[in-house]
Chains A and B, each alone.
Chain A
Amino acid sequence: MSPAAAPAGSSRAALRDPVLAPAVLLLWAAVALFVLYPVSRLLVLTFWDGGPTLAAVRELVTSWQHRRALGNSLLLAALVASTGTVLGFAFALLAVRAGLPRAVVGILDAVVLLPLISPPFTAAIALIFALGPRGLISYHVFGIASLNIYGLGGTLLSETITYFPIAYLTLKAVIANIDPNLEDGAFSLGARRGRVFRTVTVPLAAPGLANSFLLLSAASLADFATPLILGGTKFPVLPTQAFLQITGLYDMRGGAALSFLLLVPALAVFVAQRWWTERRSVVTVTGKSGAATSVKSLSPGAVALLALVCLATGLLVLTFYALIVVASMVRALGADNHLSMAHYAHVFGGGLKAIRDTLVIAAICMPVGGLFAVVLGFVVARTRFPGRRALEFAAMINYALPGTIVGIAYLVAFNDPPLALTGTAFILVVCYVFRYSLAGTRATTALLAQIDPSIEEASASLGARRDVTFRRVVLPLIRPALLAGMTVLFIRAMTAISATIFLVSLSWSLVTVRILEGITNLELGQASAFSVLVILLVYAAVALASVAMRWLPGGQLGRAGSLLGG
């Protein structure tokens, strides 16, 4: 018999706990100051001007340019989500259902992961090299000079390449969880392959497909880097428009209003995605499956077709990255292809400060954010106190919002005394911690779900206070979650730009910002060299983390999938 109560007992008891109560208060204070306060400042700036007003929003709606940005954002999100999900589904089917050797699936995973852990502009730069006006493929191979990658087409291609791995990871898990007996059952009833696929496989994968669609929509809506480079003035979208409004026109209120316009669809997608994933559990829980039979729902022809699609995509990805690497090592790719280390000399010369700053910030983020993540996860999963759900939700807001909104909100909230924090390392750390701790929190709650609460009760019964129990029992058991959380924070600190671009200064800069400067100054070689460096650092971190995971009990939770907090 197991009583329905959580180990902490009633919420009254939680408030009396000499350790829990201060911890909860501290969490609430932090979340209030760095999540709720900036967002409410943003809303106030948008809707308050000596009194409640809709002027800023009205202005937006009447502005043709801004209406177009909204339309473009939605169109791009829908297209990226569709193409990315289809592509991800193809990869997932091939990986799970084609009976490929493990090594091949491993290679597939590694290639697919590349875009996920790259700095934001990588695909865009590579696209310029490959298909740009003097593109290696378009011009030098096919001799086409008129191909225009700036606009919807280029942005769509680049974002699809960047984000389809999210769909792949999501759908791979979903397809692997489909009980093979269900498909076998359909075969036994006389259905042919195509029919089984249509009537069993796809319907069972449907929740996963919807989830993937929503995740990609959110990613595309929030993407700032790609449209900034490839969209240009021809194809304005909300995040870039808001950025230009503030950095170009110094119109804070206009930027705030634009980001509010972005907030609405972003939140809608986020809520829909949460709703879907919570529903999905009903579908996948079917008990222990019978003997695993080899699934035959893909015909050899279908496998060949999938392999062709995936091979082409994989080659495209690899070509992109090869181009980046080559571009970083020649004087000017396409114009002067002589080997040169000048770009790296620049990176380790003038660029060294940005690298050092980024690493310092990442180094601070990891322990601070990691601890924040696991404490939050523990408190949410294992204790009862009034407002627990609210805290959980509030802590998720900065993650759910597009980075541009968070950046603008921080700029609005922390630009003036008494909280003049923009441009400091502190605000960069805070931004990352509250934006990217969710992965660690989720890993913590997932791990805790597998650890019986009686372990903690045993500690309490032996005279240990809650903080002692946390330090001596819980923390050692959730080390994999802590590690996963810290790895994600490192990756994000190395690669994120959409929020922090508003917060950097001369004294604290970031590698991603230097990459953007490289691109806008048309020094693509430099930008490539920075990108290569970031990719190597991040790959090293992921490799190190997965080696460490193998040494930790329960470490499988921290594999690449959860590393990205998807």
Chain B
Amino acid sequence: MSGGAGARLRLVSVSKRFVRAEHGAAAVADVSLTVEPGELLTLLGPSGCGKTTTLRMVAGFERPDTGQVLIDDQDVTGLMVYRRSIGFVFQNYALFPHLTVFENVAYGLRVQRLSEAVVRERVGRVLALVGLPGYERRFPNQLSGGEQQRVAVARAVVVEPRLLLFDEPLSNLDAKLRVQMREELSRLQRQLGITTVYVTHDQEEAMAISDRIAVMQAGRVAQVGTARDLYRAPRSVFVAQFIGRVNLLPARVVRAGPGAATVALWRREVTVPADGAGAIGADVSLVLRPESVGLLAAGAAPPAGEIAVDGVVRSRTFLGEKVEYTVEVDGASLLTVAYDPLRHGLFESGARVQVTCAPASLRLLTEA
């Protein structure tokens, strides 16, 4: 049960359409993904984006209309759930209410008709692993939400599945417990080395635990990458807006080169990183994260290498460790975040300021 090599999961052009879906829209359209052995991949997206349906097709609860699901190069598309060797953790935990914690965890082992001694040994080990020794004889309704969650995880991993699948496992917990549990899940997953697909709509949770994240939108995979990639180099407005908060600055392409483009922004030319620039003269958006924006008093000298533009503070929200400003620049509003405001001083609403940013912190979006 420790550090076993995980399986490789591949989805090849998987599509699924529900008969009664509105407008006949596909729930999942042409999704292709690879999850490497031992990796934790998160499917992230707003509700209705197809992430749970994708996960349920991996599990075998749903059958794709087209496409294939492969586990270690074995085509399991037509295989019944119970033959796939998966561990599934449900949003509502789905513990068997009529069975004790021990019997819940032992269930999968009993299905395999393992000997009583083996069952006892493995259940004991996994309960210790999730921090619930001594809970064997309790019933699910005698457990707190966090404890039920651990039992659900224990039950899923005790059978040593090839894949571990999580369907929004933390959404029923309160905020504090959610942070604690996600760290525990992450630790456990690394320890066991089981290839994992994790579904959530919470981008912070996704960034905290994932090796890679697949952002889904309207049944399709919008972008796959590490949390850093997605935050730093989103490839669409959707991804930019879904991962973190963002300012989208309108600009026009002047020149395009490899890995960079020169655009007209704030009545000057700036060279910014780009995957591939649009056509010259095209209107594009630049991604600028709020925390990358600097604010200076009008007249102060901007840091070397940064561009600066005049603006007026329109509103201010003081949040303790940080302060958020809405600044009007060129007739558009710009969101900025400044940390440790008590040390750096506050601007009043209506103050004339300079907005600064490094060109390298800007990023050109090639897709709308």
Contacts and interface: CB of A to CB of B under 8 A. Distances in A.
Interface stretch (B92-100, B126-134, B255-263): B92-100
B111 interface: yes
Interface residues on B, range: 35 or more
Given A10-B63, A13-B63, A452 B21 contact: no
B108 A473 contact: no
A51 interface: no
Contact of B97 (A460, A464, A477): A477
Contact of A3 (B18, B97, B159): B18
A362 to B, nearest CB: 28
A194 interface: no
A454 B111 contact: no
B61 A459 contact: no
B53 interface: yes
A203 interface: no
A458 interface: yes
B62 A9 contact: yes
A458 B158 CA distance: 13
B62 A462 contact: no
Majority DSSP secondary structure for residues of B touching A: loop
B316 interface: no
Contacts of A461: 59, 81-82, 84, 86-88, 156, 165
Nearest to A554: B97
A459 B84 CA distance: 13
Nearest to B49: A1
A455 B94 contact: yes
Contact of B155 (A13, A17, A458, A468): A458
A365 to B, nearest CB: 26
B280 interface: no
A5 B18 contact: yes
A3 B82 contact: no
Given A9-B61, A462-B107, A457 B94 contact: yes
Contacts of A473: 96, 98
Given A452-B92, A454-B94, A458-B94, A3 B52 contact: yes
Interface residues on A, range: 20 to 34
Contacts of B96: 455, 458-459, 473
A462 B107 CA distance: 7
B85 interface: yes
Contacts of A553: 97-98
B48 interface: yes
Interface in A387-406: none
Interface of B: 18, 20-21, 27, 47-48, 51-53, 56, 59-63, 78, 80-88, 90-92, 94-98, 107-108, 111-112, 155-156, 159, 165
Given A457-B94, A458-B90, A461-B86, 15 more contacts: A1-B48, A1-B51, A2-B52, A3-B62, A5-B62, A454-B91, A455-B95, A460-B60, A460-B61, A461-B81, A461-B82, A462-B156, A463-B82, A477-B97, A477-B98
15 contacts: A4-B20, A5-B62, A454-B91, A455-B94, A457-B61, A457-B81, A458-B88, A458-B94, A459-B107, A460-B80, A460-B81, A462-B108, A464-B82, A465-B80, A553-B98
Interface of A: 1-5, 7, 9-10, 12-13, 16-17, 452, 454-455, 457-465, 468, 472-473, 476-477, 553
